[in-house]
Amino acid sequence: MPHYDLVIVGTGSGNSILDPRFADLKTAIVEKGTFGGTCLNVGCIPTKMFVYAADVAATPSHSSRYGVDEELKGVRWPEIRDRIFGRIDPIAAGGAEYRKNHEDNQNVDVYQGEGRFTGMKELRVSFTDGRPDEVLTADRFVLAAGGRPVVPDVPGLAETGFHTSDTIMRLDALPRRITILGGGYIAAEFAHVFASFGVDVTVVLRSGAMLRGEDEDVSARFTELAAERFDLRRDRKILRAHREATGAVLELEGPQGAETLGTDLILVAIGRTPNSDVLDVAATGVTTKASGHVIVDDHQETVVPGIYALGDLSSPYELKHVANHESRVVQHNLLHPDDRIEADHRFVPHAIFTSPQIASVGLTEQDARARGVSYVVSKQDYAGIAYGWAMEDTTGFAKLLADPATGQLLGAHIIGPQASSVIQPLIQAMSFGLDARTMARGQYWIHPAMPELIENALLNLPLG
Protein backbone atom coordinates (compact mmCIF):
# COMPACT_ATOMS: atom_id res chain seq x y z
CA MET A 1 0.00 0.00 0.00
CA PRO A 2 2.09 2.96 -1.25
CA HIS A 3 1.89 6.12 0.81
CA TYR A 4 2.22 9.60 -0.73
CA ASP A 5 2.64 13.14 0.47
CA LEU A 6 -0.01 14.21 -2.06
CA VAL A 7 -2.47 12.47 -4.36
CA ILE A 8 -4.30 14.41 -7.09
CA VAL A 9 -7.38 12.80 -8.60
CA GLY A 10 -8.12 14.20 -12.05
CA THR A 11 -5.88 15.79 -14.70
CA GLY A 12 -7.89 18.82 -15.77
CA SER A 13 -7.13 21.87 -13.65
CA GLY A 14 -5.80 19.52 -10.97
CA ASN A 15 -2.85 18.66 -13.20
CA SER A 16 -1.70 22.29 -13.23
CA ILE A 17 -1.06 22.28 -9.47
CA LEU A 18 2.28 20.48 -9.69
CA ASP A 19 5.25 22.67 -10.51
CA PRO A 20 8.93 22.63 -9.44
CA ARG A 21 7.98 23.70 -5.90
CA PHE A 22 6.45 20.24 -5.38
CA ALA A 23 9.50 18.36 -6.66
CA ASP A 24 10.54 17.10 -3.22
CA LEU A 25 7.13 15.61 -2.46
CA LYS A 26 6.21 12.05 -3.28
CA THR A 27 3.12 12.60 -5.43
CA ALA A 28 0.59 10.51 -7.34
CA ILE A 29 -1.83 11.51 -10.07
CA VAL A 30 -4.88 9.35 -10.74
CA GLU A 31 -6.78 9.67 -14.04
CA LYS A 32 -9.51 7.29 -15.19
CA GLY A 33 -9.92 8.81 -18.66
CA THR A 34 -7.93 11.04 -20.99
CA PHE A 35 -5.34 13.46 -19.66
CA GLY A 36 -6.46 17.08 -19.73
CA GLY A 37 -9.96 16.77 -18.34
CA THR A 38 -13.31 17.90 -19.70
CA CYS A 39 -12.32 21.28 -21.11
CA LEU A 40 -9.51 20.05 -23.33
CA ASN A 41 -11.04 16.80 -24.54
CA VAL A 42 -14.84 17.07 -24.63
CA GLY A 43 -15.67 20.60 -23.46
CA CYS A 44 -14.67 24.19 -23.98
CA ILE A 45 -11.87 23.87 -26.50
CA PRO A 46 -13.23 21.41 -29.08
CA THR A 47 -16.76 22.82 -28.87
CA LYS A 48 -15.55 26.35 -29.54
CA MET A 49 -13.49 25.13 -32.48
CA PHE A 50 -16.66 23.55 -33.88
CA VAL A 51 -18.60 26.74 -33.14
CA TYR A 52 -16.10 28.86 -35.05
CA ALA A 53 -16.44 26.62 -38.09
CA ALA A 54 -20.22 26.81 -37.68
CA ASP A 55 -20.09 30.61 -37.57
CA VAL A 56 -18.21 30.59 -40.88
CA ALA A 57 -20.67 28.11 -42.40
CA ALA A 58 -23.65 30.23 -41.28
CA THR A 59 -22.40 33.43 -42.92
CA PRO A 60 -24.14 32.86 -46.28
CA SER A 61 -27.50 32.52 -44.50
CA HIS A 62 -27.46 36.22 -43.62
CA SER A 63 -24.94 37.82 -46.00
CA SER A 64 -27.63 39.08 -48.37
CA ARG A 65 -28.65 41.77 -45.86
CA TYR A 66 -25.36 43.49 -46.70
CA GLY A 67 -25.83 43.21 -50.45
CA VAL A 68 -23.48 40.24 -50.63
CA ASP A 69 -24.79 37.01 -52.15
CA GLU A 70 -22.99 33.96 -50.83
CA GLU A 71 -23.64 30.25 -51.07
CA LEU A 72 -22.57 27.39 -48.81
CA LYS A 73 -21.30 24.74 -51.22
CA GLY A 74 -20.65 22.07 -48.66
CA VAL A 75 -19.36 21.03 -45.25
CA ARG A 76 -16.53 18.50 -45.02
CA TRP A 77 -17.32 17.15 -41.57
CA PRO A 78 -14.40 14.68 -41.33
CA GLU A 79 -11.96 17.50 -42.10
CA ILE A 80 -13.58 19.80 -39.54
CA ARG A 81 -13.47 17.05 -36.92
CA ASP A 82 -9.93 15.96 -37.70
CA ARG A 83 -8.58 19.53 -37.72
CA ILE A 84 -9.87 19.91 -34.17
CA PHE A 85 -8.86 16.60 -32.66
CA GLY A 86 -5.65 16.52 -34.65
CA ARG A 87 -4.57 19.38 -32.41
CA ILE A 88 -6.24 18.34 -29.16
CA ASP A 89 -5.37 14.63 -29.00
CA PRO A 90 -1.58 15.21 -29.18
CA ILE A 91 -1.86 17.75 -26.35
CA ALA A 92 -3.62 15.20 -24.15
CA ALA A 93 -1.12 12.50 -25.05
CA GLY A 94 1.78 14.88 -24.47
CA GLY A 95 0.46 15.81 -21.03
CA ALA A 96 0.37 12.16 -20.01
CA GLU A 97 3.82 11.50 -21.42
CA TYR A 98 5.26 14.50 -19.58
CA ARG A 99 3.90 13.39 -16.21
CA LYS A 100 4.94 9.77 -16.69
CA ASN A 101 8.42 10.11 -18.13
CA HIS A 102 9.86 13.63 -17.96
CA GLU A 103 12.75 14.23 -15.57
CA ASP A 104 10.75 17.03 -13.92
CA ASN A 105 8.38 14.38 -12.57
CA GLN A 106 10.77 11.87 -11.00
CA ASN A 107 8.76 11.89 -7.77
CA VAL A 108 5.39 11.68 -9.55
CA ASP A 109 3.61 8.37 -10.14
CA VAL A 110 0.76 8.27 -12.65
CA TYR A 111 -2.08 5.80 -12.10
CA GLN A 112 -4.20 5.34 -15.21
CA GLY A 113 -7.35 4.01 -13.61
CA GLU A 114 -10.51 4.81 -11.68
CA GLY A 115 -10.10 5.88 -8.07
CA ARG A 116 -12.62 5.12 -5.34
CA PHE A 117 -12.24 5.82 -1.63
CA THR A 118 -12.44 2.79 0.64
CA GLY A 119 -11.51 4.45 3.93
CA MET A 120 -10.11 7.58 5.52
CA LYS A 121 -7.55 8.94 3.05
CA GLU A 122 -7.44 5.54 1.38
CA LEU A 123 -8.05 5.38 -2.38
CA ARG A 124 -8.41 2.14 -4.34
CA VAL A 125 -7.41 2.43 -8.02
CA SER A 126 -8.90 0.04 -10.57
CA PHE A 127 -6.68 -0.01 -13.63
CA THR A 128 -7.98 0.21 -17.17
CA ASP A 129 -5.48 -2.37 -18.43
CA GLY A 130 -6.71 -5.15 -16.16
CA ARG A 131 -3.90 -5.06 -13.57
CA PRO A 132 -4.83 -5.86 -9.99
CA ASP A 133 -6.29 -2.96 -7.99
CA GLU A 134 -3.89 -0.93 -5.89
CA VAL A 135 -4.66 1.05 -2.74
CA LEU A 136 -3.03 4.44 -2.18
CA THR A 137 -2.85 6.45 1.02
CA ALA A 138 -1.69 10.02 1.41
CA ASP A 139 -1.33 12.87 3.86
CA ARG A 140 -3.15 15.22 1.50
CA PHE A 141 -5.51 14.78 -1.43
CA VAL A 142 -6.78 17.10 -4.14
CA LEU A 143 -10.06 15.97 -5.66
CA ALA A 144 -10.46 17.36 -9.17
CA ALA A 145 -12.35 14.52 -10.83
CA GLY A 146 -14.87 16.67 -12.70
CA GLY A 147 -18.31 15.54 -13.83
CA ARG A 148 -20.18 13.65 -16.50
CA PRO A 149 -23.33 14.07 -18.62
CA VAL A 150 -26.70 13.34 -17.04
CA VAL A 151 -28.79 10.76 -18.91
CA PRO A 152 -32.57 10.86 -18.38
CA ASP A 153 -34.46 7.78 -17.29
CA VAL A 154 -36.45 7.33 -20.51
CA PRO A 155 -37.70 3.81 -21.26
CA GLY A 156 -35.97 2.41 -24.34
CA LEU A 157 -33.42 5.22 -24.67
CA ALA A 158 -30.38 3.07 -23.95
CA GLU A 159 -31.50 0.42 -26.42
CA THR A 160 -32.32 3.06 -29.04
CA GLY A 161 -28.90 4.64 -28.75
CA PHE A 162 -27.88 8.21 -28.10
CA HIS A 163 -24.92 10.55 -27.89
CA THR A 164 -23.80 13.03 -25.23
CA SER A 165 -21.38 15.94 -25.45
CA ASP A 166 -18.65 13.40 -24.64
CA THR A 167 -19.20 11.50 -27.90
CA ILE A 168 -21.08 13.69 -30.38
CA MET A 169 -18.03 15.54 -31.71
CA ARG A 170 -16.36 12.39 -33.04
CA LEU A 171 -19.16 11.29 -35.37
CA ASP A 172 -18.04 9.66 -38.61
CA ALA A 173 -20.56 11.63 -40.66
CA LEU A 174 -23.19 14.32 -40.23
CA PRO A 175 -26.75 13.03 -39.76
CA ARG A 176 -29.59 14.43 -41.84
CA ARG A 177 -31.68 14.97 -38.71
CA ILE A 178 -30.70 15.41 -35.07
CA THR A 179 -32.90 15.74 -32.00
CA ILE A 180 -31.42 17.44 -28.96
CA LEU A 181 -32.90 16.79 -25.54
CA GLY A 182 -32.39 19.81 -23.29
CA GLY A 183 -32.48 23.59 -23.39
CA GLY A 184 -29.29 24.66 -21.62
CA TYR A 185 -25.96 25.94 -22.90
CA ILE A 186 -24.78 22.58 -24.28
CA ALA A 187 -28.01 22.17 -26.26
CA ALA A 188 -27.85 25.76 -27.51
CA GLU A 189 -24.28 25.47 -28.73
CA PHE A 190 -24.70 22.13 -30.49
CA ALA A 191 -27.99 23.21 -32.06
CA HIS A 192 -26.13 26.13 -33.63
CA VAL A 193 -23.27 23.92 -34.80
CA PHE A 194 -25.40 21.27 -36.49
CA ALA A 195 -27.93 23.69 -37.98
CA SER A 196 -25.08 25.74 -39.49
CA PHE A 197 -23.73 22.56 -41.07
CA GLY A 198 -27.07 21.89 -42.76
CA VAL A 199 -28.57 19.37 -40.34
CA ASP A 200 -32.30 19.56 -39.52
CA VAL A 201 -32.33 20.30 -35.79
CA THR A 202 -35.15 19.59 -33.35
CA VAL A 203 -34.84 20.67 -29.72
CA VAL A 204 -37.09 19.07 -27.11
CA LEU A 205 -37.68 21.07 -23.92
CA ARG A 206 -39.41 20.13 -20.69
CA SER A 207 -40.15 23.84 -20.11
CA GLY A 208 -41.34 26.69 -22.26
CA ALA A 209 -37.99 28.43 -22.74
CA MET A 210 -34.35 27.80 -23.57
CA LEU A 211 -31.52 28.96 -21.31
CA ARG A 212 -33.79 29.46 -18.32
CA GLY A 213 -30.80 30.14 -16.08
CA GLU A 214 -30.06 33.36 -17.95
CA ASP A 215 -31.70 36.71 -17.29
CA GLU A 216 -35.36 36.43 -18.20
CA ASP A 217 -35.11 38.94 -21.06
CA VAL A 218 -32.12 37.13 -22.55
CA SER A 219 -33.82 33.75 -22.24
CA ALA A 220 -36.99 35.07 -23.87
CA ARG A 221 -35.09 36.65 -26.77
CA PHE A 222 -32.97 33.56 -27.40
CA THR A 223 -36.01 31.29 -27.26
CA GLU A 224 -37.73 33.52 -29.82
CA LEU A 225 -34.74 33.37 -32.16
CA ALA A 226 -34.23 29.63 -31.62
CA ALA A 227 -37.86 28.95 -32.60
CA GLU A 228 -37.20 30.66 -35.93
CA ARG A 229 -34.16 28.49 -36.61
CA PHE A 230 -34.90 25.08 -35.06
CA ASP A 231 -37.95 22.88 -34.62
CA LEU A 232 -38.49 23.84 -30.99
CA ARG A 233 -40.76 21.42 -29.11
CA ARG A 234 -41.58 23.19 -25.83
CA ASP A 235 -43.34 21.84 -22.73
CA ARG A 236 -42.76 18.24 -23.79
CA LYS A 237 -42.47 15.09 -21.71
CA ILE A 238 -40.48 12.25 -23.25
CA LEU A 239 -42.45 9.04 -22.70
CA ARG A 240 -40.23 6.47 -24.37
CA ALA A 241 -37.84 5.80 -27.25
CA HIS A 242 -37.43 3.01 -29.75
CA ARG A 243 -35.71 2.31 -33.04
CA GLU A 244 -37.30 1.60 -36.42
CA ALA A 245 -35.81 0.91 -39.84
CA THR A 246 -35.93 4.64 -40.64
CA GLY A 247 -34.12 5.72 -37.46
CA ALA A 248 -34.77 6.55 -33.82
CA VAL A 249 -38.26 7.45 -32.64
CA LEU A 250 -39.24 9.47 -29.57
CA GLU A 251 -42.74 9.37 -28.17
CA LEU A 252 -43.64 12.71 -26.62
CA GLU A 253 -46.50 14.20 -24.70
CA GLY A 254 -47.11 17.91 -25.20
CA PRO A 255 -49.75 20.62 -24.91
CA GLN A 256 -51.64 19.15 -27.87
CA GLY A 257 -51.35 15.54 -26.72
CA ALA A 258 -49.24 12.65 -27.95
CA GLU A 259 -46.54 13.14 -30.61
CA THR A 260 -44.16 10.86 -32.45
CA LEU A 261 -40.82 12.33 -33.45
CA GLY A 262 -38.50 10.56 -35.89
CA THR A 263 -34.81 11.38 -36.05
CA ASP A 264 -31.47 9.99 -37.19
CA LEU A 265 -29.56 10.80 -34.03
CA ILE A 266 -30.37 11.75 -30.42
CA LEU A 267 -28.14 14.08 -28.44
CA VAL A 268 -28.77 14.09 -24.69
CA ALA A 269 -27.84 17.53 -23.32
CA ILE A 270 -29.83 17.97 -20.12
CA GLY A 271 -26.92 18.81 -17.84
CA ARG A 272 -23.93 17.36 -16.01
CA THR A 273 -23.41 15.84 -12.58
CA PRO A 274 -20.26 15.74 -10.42
CA ASN A 275 -18.30 12.51 -10.06
CA SER A 276 -18.40 12.48 -6.25
CA ASP A 277 -20.41 9.25 -6.29
CA VAL A 278 -17.87 7.56 -8.55
CA LEU A 279 -15.15 8.55 -6.08
CA ASP A 280 -17.36 7.54 -3.14
CA VAL A 281 -16.08 10.55 -1.23
CA ALA A 282 -18.28 9.71 1.77
CA ALA A 283 -15.99 6.77 2.50
CA THR A 284 -13.22 9.21 3.40
CA GLY A 285 -15.53 11.52 5.35
CA VAL A 286 -16.01 14.17 2.65
CA THR A 287 -19.52 15.64 2.49
CA THR A 288 -21.59 16.66 -0.53
CA LYS A 289 -24.57 18.84 -1.36
CA ALA A 290 -27.86 17.38 -2.61
CA SER A 291 -26.57 18.10 -6.13
CA GLY A 292 -23.58 15.83 -5.50
CA HIS A 293 -21.07 18.69 -5.41
CA VAL A 294 -18.34 18.24 -2.80
CA ILE A 295 -18.65 20.80 0.00
CA VAL A 296 -15.59 23.01 0.46
CA ASP A 297 -14.78 26.09 2.52
CA ASP A 298 -13.34 29.37 1.26
CA HIS A 299 -9.89 27.74 1.09
CA GLN A 300 -11.27 24.95 -1.14
CA GLU A 301 -10.77 22.47 1.72
CA THR A 302 -13.38 19.82 2.51
CA VAL A 303 -14.54 18.94 6.02
CA VAL A 304 -11.63 16.47 6.16
CA PRO A 305 -8.39 18.33 6.95
CA GLY A 306 -5.88 17.87 4.17
CA ILE A 307 -8.44 16.99 1.48
CA TYR A 308 -9.12 19.77 -1.01
CA ALA A 309 -11.54 19.82 -3.94
CA LEU A 310 -11.91 22.04 -6.98
CA GLY A 311 -13.56 22.44 -10.36
CA ASP A 312 -16.73 20.72 -11.52
CA LEU A 313 -16.55 18.22 -8.68
CA SER A 314 -17.22 20.95 -6.10
CA SER A 315 -18.20 24.07 -8.02
CA PRO A 316 -21.81 24.72 -9.07
CA TYR A 317 -20.44 27.06 -11.75
CA GLU A 318 -18.81 24.19 -13.65
CA LEU A 319 -16.60 26.56 -15.65
CA LYS A 320 -12.97 26.10 -16.64
CA HIS A 321 -11.93 29.60 -15.62
CA VAL A 322 -13.38 28.92 -12.16
CA ALA A 323 -11.56 25.59 -11.93
CA ASN A 324 -8.31 27.30 -12.91
CA HIS A 325 -8.80 29.96 -10.24
CA GLU A 326 -9.57 27.33 -7.61
CA SER A 327 -6.54 25.32 -8.70
CA ARG A 328 -4.29 28.31 -8.04
CA VAL A 329 -5.88 28.75 -4.60
CA VAL A 330 -5.35 25.08 -3.73
CA GLN A 331 -1.78 25.19 -5.02
CA HIS A 332 -0.98 28.17 -2.79
CA ASN A 333 -2.63 26.59 0.24
CA LEU A 334 -0.75 23.32 -0.21
CA LEU A 335 2.54 25.22 -0.39
CA HIS A 336 1.70 27.70 2.38
CA PRO A 337 -0.51 25.93 4.95
CA ASP A 338 0.14 28.67 7.52
CA ASP A 339 -0.72 31.51 5.13
CA ARG A 340 -3.70 30.26 3.17
CA ILE A 341 -5.75 32.33 0.74
CA GLU A 342 -9.45 32.23 -0.12
CA ALA A 343 -11.14 31.67 -3.46
CA ASP A 344 -12.96 34.67 -4.94
CA HIS A 345 -16.36 33.74 -6.35
CA ARG A 346 -17.94 37.19 -6.14
CA PHE A 347 -18.29 37.96 -9.84
CA VAL A 348 -18.07 34.78 -11.90
CA PRO A 349 -18.87 35.39 -15.58
CA HIS A 350 -19.89 32.89 -18.20
CA ALA A 351 -20.58 32.86 -21.91
CA ILE A 352 -22.60 30.67 -24.23
CA PHE A 353 -21.10 30.30 -27.70
CA THR A 354 -24.25 29.82 -29.68
CA SER A 355 -25.78 32.25 -32.18
CA PRO A 356 -26.23 34.91 -31.04
CA GLN A 357 -23.59 34.74 -28.34
CA ILE A 358 -24.64 35.27 -24.74
CA ALA A 359 -22.56 36.46 -21.80
CA SER A 360 -23.46 37.17 -18.20
CA VAL A 361 -22.04 38.19 -14.84
CA GLY A 362 -23.70 38.94 -11.53
CA LEU A 363 -27.38 39.05 -10.65
CA THR A 364 -30.16 38.48 -13.14
CA GLU A 365 -33.28 40.58 -12.73
CA GLN A 366 -35.19 37.61 -11.36
CA ASP A 367 -32.36 37.01 -8.86
CA ALA A 368 -32.54 40.62 -7.67
CA ARG A 369 -36.30 40.45 -7.23
CA ALA A 370 -36.12 37.16 -5.34
CA ARG A 371 -33.46 38.49 -2.98
CA GLY A 372 -35.21 41.81 -2.40
CA VAL A 373 -32.23 43.74 -3.75
CA SER A 374 -32.85 47.37 -4.71
CA TYR A 375 -31.85 47.91 -8.35
CA VAL A 376 -32.34 49.93 -11.50
CA VAL A 377 -32.13 48.57 -15.05
CA SER A 378 -30.99 49.81 -18.42
CA LYS A 379 -30.98 48.21 -21.84
CA GLN A 380 -29.10 49.15 -24.95
CA ASP A 381 -29.82 47.57 -28.33
CA TYR A 382 -27.01 46.79 -30.75
CA ALA A 383 -29.26 48.50 -33.27
CA GLY A 384 -28.74 51.78 -31.42
CA ILE A 385 -24.97 52.01 -31.96
CA ALA A 386 -23.10 52.70 -35.17
CA TYR A 387 -21.38 49.31 -35.32
CA GLY A 388 -24.75 47.68 -34.78
CA TRP A 389 -25.92 49.48 -37.93
CA ALA A 390 -22.91 48.06 -39.77
CA MET A 391 -23.90 44.55 -38.67
CA GLU A 392 -27.63 45.13 -39.30
CA ASP A 393 -28.24 43.58 -35.90
CA THR A 394 -31.85 44.01 -34.83
CA THR A 395 -32.12 41.50 -31.99
CA GLY A 396 -29.10 41.90 -29.68
CA PHE A 397 -28.92 44.00 -26.54
CA ALA A 398 -27.03 44.62 -23.32
CA LYS A 399 -28.89 44.75 -20.01
CA LEU A 400 -27.37 46.19 -16.84
CA LEU A 401 -28.53 46.16 -13.22
CA ALA A 402 -27.10 48.67 -10.76
CA ASP A 403 -27.54 49.83 -7.18
CA PRO A 404 -29.59 53.07 -7.43
CA ALA A 405 -27.82 54.60 -4.43
CA THR A 406 -24.18 53.89 -5.29
CA GLY A 407 -24.20 53.16 -9.01
CA GLN A 408 -22.31 49.90 -8.38
CA LEU A 409 -23.08 47.33 -11.02
CA LEU A 410 -25.00 44.29 -9.80
CA GLY A 411 -25.32 42.34 -13.02
CA ALA A 412 -24.66 42.48 -16.74
CA HIS A 413 -26.24 40.39 -19.49
CA ILE A 414 -25.55 40.57 -23.21
CA ILE A 415 -27.02 38.72 -26.16
CA GLY A 416 -25.51 39.55 -29.52
CA PRO A 417 -22.31 39.50 -31.59
CA GLN A 418 -19.11 38.92 -29.60
CA ALA A 419 -20.96 39.14 -26.28
CA SER A 420 -18.23 37.08 -24.62
CA SER A 421 -15.68 39.81 -25.37
CA VAL A 422 -17.91 42.86 -25.06
CA ILE A 423 -18.81 41.99 -21.44
CA GLN A 424 -15.23 41.97 -20.15
CA PRO A 425 -15.05 45.69 -19.12
CA LEU A 426 -18.16 45.14 -16.99
CA ILE A 427 -16.57 42.15 -15.24
CA GLN A 428 -13.55 44.33 -14.53
CA ALA A 429 -15.69 47.17 -13.19
CA MET A 430 -17.60 44.87 -10.84
CA SER A 431 -14.44 43.14 -9.63
CA PHE A 432 -12.69 46.39 -8.80
CA GLY A 433 -15.68 48.38 -7.54
CA LEU A 434 -15.91 50.92 -10.36
CA ASP A 435 -19.33 52.57 -10.38
CA ALA A 436 -21.35 53.02 -13.56
CA ARG A 437 -21.01 56.80 -13.92
CA THR A 438 -17.25 56.77 -13.36
CA MET A 439 -16.86 53.92 -15.79
CA ALA A 440 -18.95 55.65 -18.46
CA ARG A 441 -17.38 59.11 -18.25
CA GLY A 442 -13.95 58.39 -16.80
CA GLN A 443 -12.44 56.98 -19.99
CA TYR A 444 -12.58 57.24 -23.76
CA TRP A 445 -14.72 54.79 -25.72
CA ILE A 446 -13.53 54.13 -29.26
CA HIS A 447 -16.04 55.30 -31.86
CA PRO A 448 -17.63 53.64 -33.71
CA ALA A 449 -16.67 50.37 -32.02
CA MET A 450 -18.80 47.69 -30.41
CA PRO A 451 -17.98 48.68 -26.80
CA GLU A 452 -20.18 51.74 -27.30
CA LEU A 453 -22.94 49.27 -26.51
CA ILE A 454 -21.60 49.22 -22.95
CA GLU A 455 -21.00 52.96 -22.77
CA ASN A 456 -24.59 53.73 -23.75
CA ALA A 457 -26.03 51.08 -21.44
CA LEU A 458 -24.11 52.64 -18.55
CA LEU A 459 -25.34 56.12 -19.43
CA ASN A 460 -28.91 54.85 -19.69
CA LEU A 461 -28.99 53.69 -16.08
CA PRO A 462 -31.51 55.88 -14.17
CA LEU A 463 -29.15 56.95 -11.39
CA GLY A 464 -29.57 60.04 -9.29
Residues 356-370, mean pLDDT to the nearest whole number? 98
For residue 229, the one-letter residue type is R
Q: Is 288's pLDDT higher than 80?
A: yes
In order of 100, 102, 174, 184, 228, the CA distances from 168 in angstroms are 30, 33, 10, 16, 24
According to the model, what pLDDT value does residue 129 have? 81
Angle 61-65-67 from CA coordinates, rounded to 5° = 110
pTM of full prediction above 0.75: yes
Whole-number Å distance between alpha carbons of 114 and 454: 47
pLDDT(74) > 90 = yes
Q: How far apart are CA 196 and CA 75, in angstroms?
A: 9
Residue-wise pLDDT tens digits, 107-157: 999 999 999 999 999 999 999 788 999 999 999 999 999 999 999 999 999
Q: With CA atoms as reference, report the closest residue to 16 among 352, 334, 340.
A: 334
- Sign of the torsion formed by the C-alpha atoms of 169, 170, 171 and 174: positive
Catalytic residue list: 447
pLDDT-based confidence at residue 458 (cuts at 50, 70, 90):
very high
Residue 275 Cα to chain centre, angstroms:
16
Report whether 451 contacts 424 (CB < 8 A).
Answer: no
E-strand ranges in 128-176 read 134-143, 147-149
